């Protein structure tokens, strides 16, 4: 695994401001850090994340790793000893433990080697925003710019606003929206929805704190991950909005419920490392030890979100008991996305529907419905139109196979669905749709029998048929194409656990 650190060659006429360079996120360095190639080691001491570099041995290891792999520049730098941890009162600080497979670096697990002379599209979009900052700075200083900068941001902004007018459409193209917002889809979409529901005014949220919170949330998603990144969080948030507008929920949910639902959707995979829970457990990762191998990722997502809420003091205007209530209920929603508890939630939901005893006037019943809505939003990709669903399927399978490649490299047992030689995109998706998605959305349609529910089930059937038609071709023979679902039937729980641990 090789890291490359190069200084940029940019036509700058003044030092870059600290607030542009300093990044405050979680364990990995997200896409905007890649504006200057690899993360600048001199800035690591300024980062404050849910997982901080508070272990001297890990810090020394990372410094040595950078020193060895750095081919271009080897800067000298020192980590400050007072790197703060977001965990505060009531939340045990997360310490970095010894990792037996130290060569596995989540920061670069899913990164691609860039060919010489090419600049990734996301980096170009970040450059647009950076150039806009330089332009505004020069204008404020009264310094004319000789070469006008042709920036696409302004034109894209108008198109993004037009898309937000149809944010409640199930055909909403989150990939296009992310491009139009220069990679800031989660910030723009969540802010727009909070404003649309009148929650900013109702809860008297400070606009500066809110935007800072959303920016930090977006930065704490790892954009190197093919699937578990900020775009996935934005997609889940948009799906949650669609469910909140369903008649049964719209007539019953309180503003507090809606606020919780949107925040949970935006933060439900915060700081996801791009590998599943079994991987963390079998490599003795410190998170697995911290959470005792139980809902490891979901607990970490929740604690990371609470850390950001406290760091930004978003709810400092509310009574202390209300803030704690928000944190607890936010955790209850995020923990519900643990796919290993899928049958528990599904059975409870089915029982309520069979007995017809769901009373949305009851706060606990409303919260349970919110949990089910978030579970549906989290795995709704197979229910999207084929053009969108296919992209998500390819991305999540790409992430699976990357983990499998790492496991092969370090001679670990390959997790189910992560072996690119034994699985295809089609076989993975057919098994996931059959054993996880279909049962959940069938019960949701019983609860909310609306046009949206029927549309989702319709797309699900068509997408499954499309993958079934592609499976023999992908596997090389019809027999291999038919054997994969058979294996899924024999071992549904293990396969569901593996896929769910990553998708949730």
Sequence-ordered list of residues with C-beta below 8 angstroms from that of 38, at least 6 positions apart, any chain: 3, 4, 5, 6, 29
- Tell whether 84 is covered by a domain: no
Residue 369 annotated in ligand binding: no
Residue 268 annotated in ligand binding: yes
Residue 229 annotated in ligand binding: yes
pLDDT single digits (tens) 77-96: 333 333 233 434 444 434 33
pLDDT single digits (tens) 244-258: 999 999 999 999 999
How far is residue 147's CA from residue 32's CA, in Å, rounded to a whole number?
Answer: 25
Inter-residue contact 32 to 23 (CB < 8 Å)? yes
Residue 488 annotated in ligand binding: no
- Tell whether 489 is covered by a domain: no
Mean pLDDT taken over the chain = 77
pLDDT reported for residue 23: 41
Q: Which of 52-56, 111-115, 420-424 has the highest mean pLDDT?
A: 420-424
pLDDT reported for residue 154: 53
- Tell whether 263 is covered by a domain: yes
The residue to which tokens 């019809």 are assigned: 478
Tell me how many domains the chain contains.
1
- Tell whether 32 is covered by a domain: no
How far is residue 346's CA from residue 132's CA, in Å, rounded to a whole number?
Answer: 49
Residue 133 annotated in ligand binding: no
Q: What is the mean pLDDT of residues 326-342?
A: 97
Residues labelled as active-site residues: 228
How far is residue 43's CA from residue 34's CA, in Å, rounded to a whole number?
Answer: 13
**Residue positions counted in the chain:** 504
Residue 228 annotated in ligand binding: yes
- Tell whether 78 is covered by a domain: no
Which band of pLDDT confidence, cut at 50, 70 and 90, is reported for residue 132?
low
pLDDT reported for residue 391: 98
How far is residue 189's CA from residue 175's CA, in Å, rounded to a whole number?
Answer: 12
Report the percent of the chain where pLDDT is more than 90. Answer: 62
Is residue 12 scored above 50 in pLDDT? no
Is residue 2 scored above 70 in pLDDT? no
- Tell whether 458 is covered by a domain: no
- Tell whether 19 is covered by a domain: no
How far is residue 384's CA from residue 429's CA, in Å, rounded to a whole number?
Answer: 13
CATH number at residue 249: 1.10.1300.10
At 187 the three-state DSSP class reads: helix
Residue 147 annotated in ligand binding: no
pLDDT reported for residue 103: 41
- Single pTM value for the model: 0.70
Quote the longest CA-to-CA distance of the chain. Answer: 73
Residue 231 annotated in ligand binding: yes
- Tell whether 435 is covered by a domain: no
pLDDT reported for residue 373: 98
Question: 255 lies in which domain range?
Answer: 151-380
Which band of pLDDT confidence, cut at 50, 70 and 90, is reported for residue 157?
confident
């Amino acid at each position: 695994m090789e890291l490359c650190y190069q200084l940029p060659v940019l036509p700058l006429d003044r030092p870059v401001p600290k607030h542009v360079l300093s990044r405050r996120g979680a364990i990995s360095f997200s896409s905007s850090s890649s504006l200057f190639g690899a993360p600048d080691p001199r800035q690591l001491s300024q980062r404050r994340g849910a997982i901080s570099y508070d272990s001297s041995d890990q810090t020394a290891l990372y410094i040595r790793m950078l020193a060895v792999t750095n081919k271009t520049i080897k800067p000298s730098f020192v980590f400050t000893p007072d790197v703060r941890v977001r965990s505060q009162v009531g939340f045990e600080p997360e310490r970095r433990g010894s990792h037996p497979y130290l060569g596995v670096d989540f920061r670069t697990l899913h990164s691609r080697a860039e060919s010489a002379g090419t600049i990734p599209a996301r980096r170009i979009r970040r450059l647009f925003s950076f150039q806009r900052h330089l332009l505004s700075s020069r204008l404020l200083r009264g310094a004319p710019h000789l070469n006008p900068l042709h920036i696409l941001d302004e034109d894209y902004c108008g198109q993004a606003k037009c898309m937000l007018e149809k944010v409640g459409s199930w055909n909403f193209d989150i990939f296009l929206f992310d491009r139009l917002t220069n990679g800031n889809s989660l910030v723009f979409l969540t802010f727009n929805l909070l404003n649309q529901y009148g929650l900013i005014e109702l809860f008297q949220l400070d606009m500066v704190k809110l935007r800072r919170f959303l920016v930090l949330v977006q930065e704490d998603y790892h954009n190197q991950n093919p699937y578990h990144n900020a775009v996935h969080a934005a997609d889940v948030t948009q799906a949650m909005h669609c469910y909140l507008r369903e008649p049964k929920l719209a007539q019953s949910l309180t503003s507090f419920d809606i606020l919780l639902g949107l925040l949970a959707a935006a933060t439900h995979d915060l700081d996801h490392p791009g590998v599943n829970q079994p991987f963390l457990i079998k490599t003795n990762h410190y998170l697995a030890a911290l959470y005792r191998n139980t809902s490891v990722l979901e607990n970490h997502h929740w604690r990371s979100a609470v850390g950001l809420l406290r760091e930004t003091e978003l709810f400092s205007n509310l009574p202390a008991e209300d803030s704690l209530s928000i944190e607890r209920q936010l955790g209850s929603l995020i923990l519900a996305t643990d796919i290993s508890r899928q049958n528990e939630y599904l059975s409870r939901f089915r029982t309520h529907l069979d007995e017809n005893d769901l009373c949305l006037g009851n706060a606990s019943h409303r919260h349970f419905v919110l949990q089910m809505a978030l579970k549906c939003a989290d795995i709704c990709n197979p229910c999207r139109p084929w053009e969108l669903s296919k992209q998500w399927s390819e991305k999540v399978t790409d992430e699976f196979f990357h983990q499998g490649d790492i496991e092969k490299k370090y001679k670990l047992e390959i997790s189910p669905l992560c072996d690119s030689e034994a699985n295809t995109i089609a076989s993975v998706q057919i098994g996931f749709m059959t054993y996880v998605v279909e049962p959940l959305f069938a019960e949701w349609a019983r609860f909310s029998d609306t046009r949206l529910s029927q549309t989702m089930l319709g797309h699900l059937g068509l997408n499954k048929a499309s993958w079934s038609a592609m499976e023999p071709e992908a596997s090389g023979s019809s027999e291999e194409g038919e054997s994969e679902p058979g294996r899924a039937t024999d071992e549904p729980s293990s396969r569901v656990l593996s896929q769910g641990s990553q998708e949730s």
